Amino acid sequence: MMGPLQLAWKYVFFHKAKSLILIACIVLTTILPVAVKLLVWQFDQKIVARAASTPSIVGAKGSSLDLVLSALYFKQGAADPVPYSEVERARGDGLATAIPLHCRFTAMGYPVVGTSLEYFGYRGLEAVDGSLFVSLGDCVVGHKVAEMLSVGVGDRLISDRDNVLDLAGQSPLKLNVAGVLGASRTPDDWAVFVDLKTAWVIQGLGHGHQDLNKESVDSPVLMSNESGEIIANRGVVSYIEITDENIDSFHFHGDTSEFPVTAVLVAAHGFKEETILQGRYESSESEVQFVRPEIVVRDLMTIVFQVNRFFNANAILIAGSTAMLMVLVVLLSLRLRKREMETMFRLGCSKGTIAWLQIGEMGIIFGFSMVFVFMGCGWVWMVSGDIVEGLLVNAR
């Protein structure tokens, strides 16, 4: 038995090009569908786990999927805003804990999430360096943001313009990094968290400027200062950074209960309380909806798995085509090696030995192929989490 295997090994090693081509065909045909299955499974695990950790979401009526993506993955512009009064409404009667989310802007390309301190306890997030935001203008960066931008406590991040073509619009705001969150392997690693009021300042609903009461009558920024009513022109200086010296000058114009939030995370204190809340929103005529993210995500994954069936069928057809191609290659090889086989038979090799020689050659090629397949699948398994996380983050 060792003789045919040794001859088979010598033959496979001598004909390197042919052997490598056959190995590549088997590896690619096998590893691609396996890798897709691993990625789909990892995607299902991550997206369902994120949704399952969020009992309910309140937001503007429309696409429930867009609302879920906005609340779970901080997708800008995915959902229409609702007034802040909806947060208070969800908290009404003490039925639930309501956490506002404002996901409209970015800082250095990463989403700026306006929220409350309750969010960090809700997601189990802690600052491994510094602290959570405590003042207007403070921000807490996710683990990946700190890593990619090389920022830490005391550094500054500048919010991006909502419209880069509107040079006369709202100026970017410098954010003070108060803390860095620990790694959670969730979209929270890729976000910049600020207080809700800071998000409203970025939007231009609040601002700070020089104290006009301290300006002289002939100041160029004053248009009128009669009867205690001060009217300033566009020359007044608005602050683009919130510091201890100017924080008292920041203020908001209008009713804050009407200021926008993109979603409200609602954690009811029990099943009964959640049912009562859902009934309120379903019977309401307001433009607000109450959704359960896990149901929405599972409906999405049902579609994904249905589409995946076509890929599975395609993989089976490709595997069959590859198998027939390999059979054709082997048959052609036997035909070309006919005189070689005849010579071996005349030298005393039995037909069984010659058959074992062919089986050995294919076994060695198949064995090497399986080694590469297992190595490739192991690598895909190790990086699939990062790949899926990147896909979900880039979906913004």
* Tens-place pLDDT, residues 73-118: 888 776 788 899 888 888 877 788 899 999 988 888 899 999 999 9
Q: Which of 170, 238, 174, 234 is nearest to 204 (CA)?
A: 170
Residue 217 binned pLDDT confidence (cut-offs 50, 70, 90) = very low
Residue 265 binned pLDDT confidence (cut-offs 50, 70, 90) = very high
What pLDDT was estimated at residue 218? Answer: 45
Look at residue 229 and tell me if it is in a domain. Answer: no
User: Same domain, yes or no, for 66 and 202?
Assistant: yes
* Tens-place pLDDT, residues 170-215: 668 889 999 999 988 888 999 999 999 999 988 888 766 544 444 4
User: Same domain, yes or no, for 143 and 177?
Assistant: yes
User: Same domain, yes or no, for 330 and 387?
Assistant: yes
More confident residue, 72 or 361: 72
Neighbours of 359 (CB within 10 A): 13
Look at residue 362 and tell me if it is in a domain. Answer: yes
**Domain count across the chain:** 2
Domain extent, residue 256, equals 56-208+250-291
Look at residue 98 and tell me if it is in a domain. Answer: yes
User: Same domain, yes or no, for 108 and 83?
Assistant: yes
Task: Choose the weakest-confidence range: 20-24, 103-107, 234-238.
Answer: 234-238
User: Same domain, yes or no, for 133 and 29?
Assistant: no
What pLDDT was estimated at residue 113? Answer: 93
pTM: 0.74
Look at residue 223 and tell me if it is in a domain. Answer: no
What pLDDT was estimated at residue 146? Answer: 92
* Tens-place pLDDT, residues 302-339: 887 887 788 778 778 887 887 787 778 777 777 776 77
What pLDDT was estimated at residue 115? Answer: 93
What is the overall mean pLDDT for the chain? Answer: 79
User: Same domain, yes or no, for 9 and 157?
Assistant: no
Helix (H, G, I), strand (E, B) or coil at 43: helix
Look at residue 231 and tell me if it is in a domain. Answer: no
User: Same domain, yes or no, for 180 and 272?
Assistant: yes
CB 91 within 8 A of CB 71: no
User: Same domain, yes or no, for 175 and 195?
Assistant: yes
Look at residue 317 and tell me if it is in a domain. Answer: yes
Look at residue 335 and tell me if it is in a domain. Answer: yes
Q: Which of 257, 373, 305 is nearest to 37 (CA)?
A: 305
pLDDT above 70: residue 270: yes
What pLDDT was estimated at residue 311? Answer: 78
Q: 64-73 and 293-336 are packed helices; what angle lies between their axes, rounded to 10 degrees?
A: 90
CB 262 within 8 A of CB 105: no
User: Same domain, yes or no, for 175 and 313?
Assistant: no
Domain boundary among 265, 291, 317: 291
* Tens-place pLDDT, residues 113-161: 999 999 999 999 999 998 998 888 899 999 999 999 999 998 999 888 7
Look at residue 236 and tell me if it is in a domain. Answer: no
